[in-house]
Chains A and B, each alone.
Chain A
Amino acid sequence: MLTSLLVGGLTACNPLQTEEVIDPNYPSVGAVTNNATKAQLDALSVGQFSLARNGLSTYLLVTGTIGKELFNFNGTESRWMTELNGLRPIDNSAFYNTATTGFGLPVRQANITLAATNNTSSVSDAEKNAYRGIANTFKGLAYLQMLNAQGTNGVRLNVEDPFKPSKAATYAESLAGIAKFLDDGASQLDQAGAAFPFSLPSGFAGFTTPSTFKRFNRAIALRVAIYQADWAKAATLLPQTFYSATGDLNVGPRHTYNPTPPDVQNPLLNTSSSQIVGVKEVFDAAEAGDKRLSKVRKQATPLTYTSGVTYSTPYLTNMYTSGNDPIPIIRNEELVLIGAEIAAQQNNAAEATRLINVIRTAAGLPNYAGATTKDALINAILKERLYSLFYEGHRWVDMRRYNKLNEIILPVANMKVLERLERPVAEVNWDKFNP
């Protein structure tokens, strides 16, 4: 009796039968690849904005460290100071490879969105183009950051099938491929109607329609053009962006943050164990009265790092203090400096000087009084870029594209400036295994 109760109770019906367990936690990717609804496409597109922040903090710290504009005084992780500064061998499987790999997911998100829009009848063509334009714009941005970390290693331009990715293209091919994604995005935005199908995050205030969002797309394309040293193309792109020599230099789309999940808080806050400091030599060399020095706060007692390498600097970064602080993606200040660079490259010294002075005036500095040869102007622009775009991931890339890595001042004698990050070990292994 007892037995039959137990048997009956515990196994009910056929004790040999089992049923499939459907994922009790999350929906599946398969749910959006076939006839996705508008709500699903909206969610994918919002996801694209969210993922644009992926890998960003590591990227900014890695590029800043290698470019010797800032250091991460990380008490519990000395490899920021040692390996990234060439004091110990670089590690292709360490955490800092996120500066490359973190941009893979936004690319995949864009590819999933593009595939989903191609395989649905739930939305209009204009709406499809809106989703596509956003996807391609962020795809281009993600690839560009990945390429900046990888340099001449190049990037894989076709990863639609993650099990059959293309081989890494050359640096020039990579830039051309990225330009193509951005151009595709731009033309899709042109055909996306007057408004987006959903409201964009607040960091994109001023870029909330397809036509204004396209200005952001063109600004990224402009960055690509100057990396390509294609000054004619750059000159064509400049007016298509939100460039304004007379406007607020801080205008531009930004990543917003919020500590309340599922959003995330600003990842660049100084904490008790991680303090992002300005390199002493960089800020000591700044001209007196430069307002851009407010990006760092000079400490009465210098901050000293002693793990693996000893280094002191009084400059603690001061740009991010709240979990809600946004991080700019690209600002008008960069566009003005690019304008100056295009002019200098096209031997228009007057225009170059005028735009340099726009920046210097805003920084509270007297007008540029140096030589106006092309080289002198480029050096002047690179210097302004160092302070104007501090902590925005440019110094290292700028000096590299002008072959001036050896001109970067080494704060500690035996430090080195790496030319590029290594290809992540999993990338190398994949190609070894799939020759």
Chain B
Amino acid sequence: MNRKLLLSLWLFLGLVTLSVAQNQTLTGKVSDQKGNPLPGVSVLVKGTTQGATTDADGNYRLSVPNNARVGFSYIGFLSQEIAVGSQSTLNVTLTEDTRQLEEVVVSGLATTVKRSNLANAVTRLDSKDLTGATSPVTTDAAFQGKIAGANIVSNSSVPGGGFNVQFRGVSTLGASASQPLFIVDGVYIDNGQYANGRSAANKAAAGSAQSTQDNNANRLADLNPDDIESIEVLKGSSAAAIYGTRANAGVVIITTKRGKGGKTTVSFGQDLGFSKALSYYGGADWTEQKLTDYFSASEIPQLQAARANGTYTDWERVVYGGTGAIRNTRLGITGGNEKTKFYVNGSISDETGIIKNTGFQRYSIRANIDHKLTNWLDFSINSNYIVSNNDRGWTGNDNSYINYGYSLPYTKPYINLYPDANGRYPDNGSGVGENPLAVRDRAINNQKNNRVLQGFTVNARAINTAKSSLTFRVNGGLDYQNGFATIWLPSDLQSQRQEANPGFAQDTRTEVFNSNVQLSAIYTQAVMDGRLNLTTSAGAVRLYKYLRSNYVRGTGLPAGVSNPARGKVIDGFVEYQENTDVGVFAQQDANFEDKVIGSVGIRFDKSTLNSEFDKFYAFPRAALAVNAARFGTWAGNTVSQLKFRVAYGQTAGLPTFGTTYSQLQVVGIGGLGGLVPSTVLGNTAIKPERATELEYGIDFGLFNNRVTGELTMYNKKVFDLIQPLTTAPTTGVTSTQINAADLTNKGVELSLGADVVRSSNFSWFVQPIFWYNRSKITRLDIPERLTGGFGATFGQWRVKGPDANGTTYSPTEIVGQPRTNPADATSWTSYGDAQPKYELSLNNRITFLKNFEFSALLNYRHKFTVVSLTRVLWDEGGNTYDWNETDDAGNDGKTPNGIYRQNANGLDESGNPKPGYNPGIYSFLKLREVSLYYRIPSPALKRVFGNVVSNIRVGVSGNNILRWTDYTAGYDPENSNFGSLALGGGVDLGSTPAVRRMMFHLAVDF
């Protein structure tokens, strides 16, 4: 920015602030219905930005003009607005807002709006929703089942998470960001999954430098969920339009906790818990007959010996039967005074998995500081340093028996895997290439991350009068992470000894830097005697990202050597990525007496990821909300709120880095270096994927908002989707990315809330949420294609445009063998849709006997398709739990299920998928969260601790404690061998059991 301009800006700011008038002083105390003082309540003179907040004892002090109206607002409580008149003391009691109608949610890059005036269905979850019941490992884990319109699938049950988050269907068909944009206190944070070479080590994706089969955590795992005050989910383009070019998959705005001022409070929290496998999958019995009929009769003596010695062992339970330990510790300090407020929180999350030597540790320290320099200038600084350490073990796809999910299905119970007295692990039985205990105990798959999140905001109020205000704001920050991953397979492992170069070690470093800075000006004015409030905001944004990744891979390692640089064969890899995005935006909001609230805005964005790197793309938006209950008096006492709302907006998704490049790659033969073209051609005319969304709905509140509801319908259209134009591969070109498809997502989201019982001794709040989404491809300018999975035998995602007769297809439809017409190579059998028919959640919160709080969150996902190869492995290995039975649908009653299923696929007579190797359609019901807390009453605390301890809360909670599912093709229908993808995510292969977690909680405030 031009220096001269800045200087004049500051001069201008300095001049106008001098003109702010001084008036009479108002003091008072704010408390809740029980008479407890409320610290941190915002007290604001209406029509101005003059305000104060209450101190630790609930007291405030504020200078107000004569006859002013003063508003009192506090998160979780209903706001009040009171005419001061000539009083100099004003004590106020706020009532709790169970419906969160008063909470403020973002409506633009620089502006906010009260929920009751909002035109979009923005889901807001506060810390109580996220971490109040139980302690999730990661932030995305805390979302599951709580957001209408979200399809959140856990990729793996290994500690450290890994989640695929989709809002309102799929917004890309794979070429753009499939995951929402996460913004923490104004800092755009990275949520990538970074390869570490694991799938090269076990040959799941042999030879590839980067793979989606490494099964790593997405980096949102670094963020400590306990630091979060609230999240707001902008699910569609209509709400997220002002975020422009990165917002196609939605935006999640995370606000962390801040100091509220007043007395310094020290909070200590401790969780202790454990985790266990929810279910096992193997365990079929072995007999001599079974070996003779279906396996190798030569192994009968081994079976007899194991039976005789008592060494017959179910190895699945040995590997997965462990107990994980959960230990989370938090120590937070908040406080401050009128000018400076602070929040400092240090936390240690330490969780081990059910599999020995797996675990996740996160050490996080955060300091959020707010300071008022003058009454017109304030700033805040948010600093977060995180170290995470993740041992993920060996799960998922594999081509060398290293992953437990591959070796265990084939391991016979009569084989011994335990090490001998010298610690040497025996080889697995015939045909199985690795001993899972040796891998568990000796191999390393570790990922560490060092990360800094640094944000800042500076607000300068240039004008601050009763009728208008002008604020200049600069905010932004950076997200820097330095990942370090190690893989080691010792050279004497069974799987390695037969390699030409035994042993595998890889050291991967990944450096990712994101920075963003935003300048904005916000002008508010009240016109028509304060009945119409106008807010104008405008500004510019600049984002920059780079990634630098490299590894050293060594194979042919001497015994005991884990340093990849000392392998016989050393391979290196370096990759760079870089992009810059620039945007400018303007928005006008208008509010007429809280009756009619309108907003229009536009953003222009350009990005170096587009072919036309210097071209601005426009993203307009408009929204209107009408609070019908505020017109006249018709609503009476019954209808406390009735809001009609409609919103429209546009967003985009960017091409991934490198889409425009046609590369020459390097090969070698006999010491000579050569150049060969990549099989993927670059496209120098690539444009962003653009989406438009029209969202409309009704919000209502009945009986003084005791019953509330929010019904939303949306129609999201995505245009110019980037698709691989899959060329005939015998041309030597497999694909190029082109803007070739359109799709629509239509859906319904309904959430209700009711205070079923509201009494001082017992209250019961129930919140059912229902949603579904239907996607269909409305244009496809490339040949129909299959993607994801492992070929049509097991099922793949089909991308297919409308038929000549107008039939449209869902991009998440799963198709596979057999063909319905053997002569037609693409006449696949359809196995339903990977998106659920609908999803349902039921949240219950019960408080009883004043100090007890119980909550339960049920989540039901109805009929979605899962591609599973897991059962195939267990059936081939002879170990599936029902292998010996003969009762499967379609079986002849004589053949073992495990044999029958290996040769069954397709649909049965009634059109249901057979229990073979084909995809299947399943549902589940999970008790996602359940908790019971007890708050020790204040009088008791006072007696024992005096004034030292202000609050003690104890409780128990659980995560995924109960599950019902008709899934029989593996451990759990929630799964993804391929990590987080728009298409192709939900493939169950070599997975490990789903896990239930139980915790005991203690929280003490000093």
The reply on B121 being an interface residue by CB < 8 A is no
From the candidates A50, A94, A202, A264, name the one contacting B676 in the complex (CB within 8 A): A50
Once the chains are docked, how many angstroms separate the CA of A30 from the CA of B460? 52
Task: Contacts A7-B1, A76-B398, A426-B785 given; indicate if A272 touches B498 (C-beta within 8 A).
Answer: yes
- CB of B3 within 8 A of CB of A8, answer yes
- CB of B818 within 8 A of CB of A162, answer no
Q: Which of B230-238, B244-252, B334-342, B430-438 contacts A (4 or more CB under 8 A)?
A: B430-438
- CB of B732 within 8 A of CB of A159, answer yes
Once the chains are docked, how many angstroms separate the CA of A111 from the CA of B606? 37
Q: Which of A101-109, A213-221, A351-359 contacts B (4 or more CB under 8 A)?
A: A101-109
- CB of A26 within 8 A of CB of B677, answer no
Determine the residue in chain A with the shortest Cβ distance to B291. A306
Task: Contacts A15-B542, A272-B434, A310-B294 given; indicate if A10 touches B517 (C-beta within 8 A).
Answer: yes
- CB of B676 within 8 A of CB of A47, answer yes
**8 Å CB interface, B558-577 against A:** 568-572, 574-577
Once the chains are docked, how many angstroms separate the CA of A60 from the CA of B574? 33
- CB of A101 within 8 A of CB of B729, answer yes
**8 Å CB interface, B860-877 against A:** 872, 876-877
From the candidates B10, B401, B460, B663, name the one contacting A272 in the complex (CB within 8 A): B401
The reply on A224 being an interface residue by CB < 8 A is no
The reply on A256 being an interface residue by CB < 8 A is yes
**8 Å CB interface, B188-213 against A:** 203, 207
Q: B907: shortest Cβ distance to chain A, in Å? A: 14
The reply on B85 being an interface residue by CB < 8 A is no
Q: Which of A17-25, A186-194, A232-240, A337-345 contacts B (4 or more CB under 8 A)?
A: A17-25
- CB of A16 within 8 A of CB of B664, answer no
- CB of A47 within 8 A of CB of B674, answer yes
- CB of B556 within 8 A of CB of A259, answer yes
The reply on A181 being an interface residue by CB < 8 A is no
Determine the residue in chain A with the shortest Cβ distance to B611. A20
The reply on B6 being an interface residue by CB < 8 A is yes
**8 Å CB interface, A1-21 against B:** 2-4, 6-8, 10-11, 15-21
Q: B602: shortest Cβ distance to chain A, in Å? A: 16
- Encode A141-152 as 1/0 by CB contact (under 8 A) with B: 000001000000
**8 Å CB interface, B619-677 against A:** 658, 661-677
- Encode B589-609 as 1/0 by CB contact (under 8 A) with A: 000000000000000001110
- CB of A76 within 8 A of CB of B571, answer no
- CB of A427 within 8 A of CB of B728, answer yes
Determine the residue in chain A with the shortest Cβ distance to B663. A26
From the candidates A269, A305, A433, name the one contacting B431 in the complex (CB within 8 A): A305
Chain B residues contacting A21 (CB-CB under 8 Å) are 578-580, 608, 613
The reply on A156 being an interface residue by CB < 8 A is yes
The reply on A49 being an interface residue by CB < 8 A is yes
- Encode A82-107 as 1/0 by CB contact (under 8 A) with B: 01000111011111000011011111
The reply on A263 being an interface residue by CB < 8 A is yes
**8 Å CB interface, B762-801 against A:** 782-786, 790-793, 796
From the candidates A16, A306, A425, name the one contacting B295 in the complex (CB within 8 A): A306
- CB of B474 within 8 A of CB of A6, answer yes
Task: Contacts A6-B456, A272-B401 given; indicate if A306 touches B876 (C-beta within 8 A).
Answer: yes
Task: Contacts A50-B668, A259-B501 given; indicate if A94 touches B608 (C-beta within 8 A).
Answer: no
Once the chains are docked, how many angstroms separate the CA of A262 from the CA of B732? 20
Determine the residue in chain A with the shortest Cβ distance to B472. A3
- CB of B731 within 8 A of CB of A156, answer yes
Chain A residues contacting B903 (CB-CB under 8 Å) are 87-88, 308
Q: A258: shortest Cβ distance to chain B, in Å? A: 7
- CB of A50 within 8 A of CB of B1, answer no
Interface size grouping (class) on chain B:
35 or more
- CB of B783 within 8 A of CB of A433, answer yes
Once the chains are docked, how many angstroms separate the CA of A51 from the CA of B678? 12
- CB of B498 within 8 A of CB of A270, answer yes
From the candidates A2, A6, A53, A159, name the one contacting B731 in the complex (CB within 8 A): A159
- CB of A262 within 8 A of CB of B793, answer no
Once the chains are docked, how many angstroms separate the CA of A41 from the CA of B248? 44
Q: A300: shortest Cβ distance to chain B, in Å? A: 11
Q: Is the interface of B mostly helix, strand, loop or mixed?
A: mixed
- CB of A93 within 8 A of CB of B733, answer no
Q: B246: shortest Cβ distance to chain A, in Å? A: 15
The reply on A322 being an interface residue by CB < 8 A is yes
From the candidates B578, B613, B664, name the one contacting A26 in the complex (CB within 8 A): B664
Once the chains are docked, how many angstroms separate the CA of A434 from the CA of B725? 12
**8 Å CB interface, B397-445 against A:** 398-401, 406, 410, 430-434
Among B434, B580, B613, B672, chain A packs the most CB atoms within 10 A around the CB of B672
Chain B residues contacting A419 (CB-CB under 8 Å) are none
Determine the residue in chain A with the shortest Cβ distance to B684. A30
- CB of A94 within 8 A of CB of B792, answer yes
Determine the residue in chain B with the shortest Cβ distance to A262. B668
- CB of A156 within 8 A of CB of B728, answer yes
The reply on B584 being an interface residue by CB < 8 A is yes
Once the chains are docked, how many angstroms separate the CA of A327 from the CA of B682? 34
Determine the residue in chain B with the shortest Cβ distance to A429. B783
Q: How many residues of A contact B (CB 8 A)?
A: 114
Task: Contacts A19-B608, A165-B731, A273-B495 given; indicate if A108 touches B677 (C-beta within 8 A).
Answer: yes
- CB of A28 within 8 A of CB of B664, answer yes
- CB of A92 within 8 A of CB of B379, answer no
Number of A-B contacts (CB under 8 A): 348
The reply on B726 being an interface residue by CB < 8 A is yes
Chain B residues contacting A274 (CB-CB under 8 Å) are 399
Q: A288: shortest Cβ distance to chain B, in Å? A: 26
- CB of B431 within 8 A of CB of A304, answer yes
The reply on B58 being an interface residue by CB < 8 A is no
**8 Å CB interface, A107-166 against B:** 107-109, 111-112, 146, 155-156, 159, 162-163, 165
The reply on A285 being an interface residue by CB < 8 A is no
The reply on A422 being an interface residue by CB < 8 A is yes
- CB of B295 within 8 A of CB of A256, answer no
- Encode B823-845 as 1/0 by CB contact (under 8 A) with A: 00110000000000000000000
Determine the residue in chain A with the shortest Cβ distance to B735. A426
From the candidates B6, B661, B818, B876, name the one contacting A307 in the complex (CB within 8 A): B876
Determine the residue in chain A with the shortest Cβ distance to B478. A10
Q: A1: shortest Cβ distance to chain B, in Å? A: 9
The reply on A246 being an interface residue by CB < 8 A is no
The reply on A348 being an interface residue by CB < 8 A is no
Q: A375: shortest Cβ distance to chain B, in Å? A: 35
- CB of A7 within 8 A of CB of B519, answer yes
Q: B887: shortest Cβ distance to chain A, in Å? A: 21
Chain B residues contacting A45 (CB-CB under 8 Å) are 674
Determine the residue in chain A with the shortest Cβ distance to B432. A75
**8 Å CB interface, A289-329 against B:** 301, 303-308, 310, 312, 322-323
The reply on B686 being an interface residue by CB < 8 A is no
Chain A residues contacting B379 (CB-CB under 8 Å) are 2-3
Once the chains are docked, how many angstroms separate the CA of A266 from the CA of B582? 49
- CB of B662 within 8 A of CB of A203, answer no
The reply on B984 being an interface residue by CB < 8 A is no
- CB of B500 within 8 A of CB of A269, answer yes
Once the chains are docked, how many angstroms separate the CA of A8 from the CA of B4? 12
Chain B residues contacting A199 (CB-CB under 8 Å) are 672
The reply on A423 being an interface residue by CB < 8 A is yes
Once the chains are docked, how many angstroms separate the CA of A7 from the CA of B5? 12
Chain B residues contacting A432 (CB-CB under 8 Å) are 783-784, 826
- CB of A27 within 8 A of CB of B664, answer yes
- CB of A425 within 8 A of CB of B825, answer yes
- CB of B793 within 8 A of CB of A91, answer yes
What are some 15 contacts across the A-B interface (CB < 8 A)?
A: A3-B379, A7-B474, A11-B542, A23-B661, A24-B577, A76-B406, A78-B876, A101-B734, A105-B676, A108-B731, A259-B501, A259-B555, A259-B569, A262-B673, A272-B494
B: residues with CB less than 8 A from A are 1, 3, 6, 10, 203, 207, 294-296, 298, 379, 398-401, 406, 410, 430-434, 456, 458, 460, 474, 476, 494-501, 515, 517, 519, 540, 542, 555-556, 568-572, 574-582, 584, 606-608, 613-614, 658, 661-679, 681-682, 725-734, 782-786, 790-793, 796, 817-819, 825-826, 872, 876-878, 902-903, 905
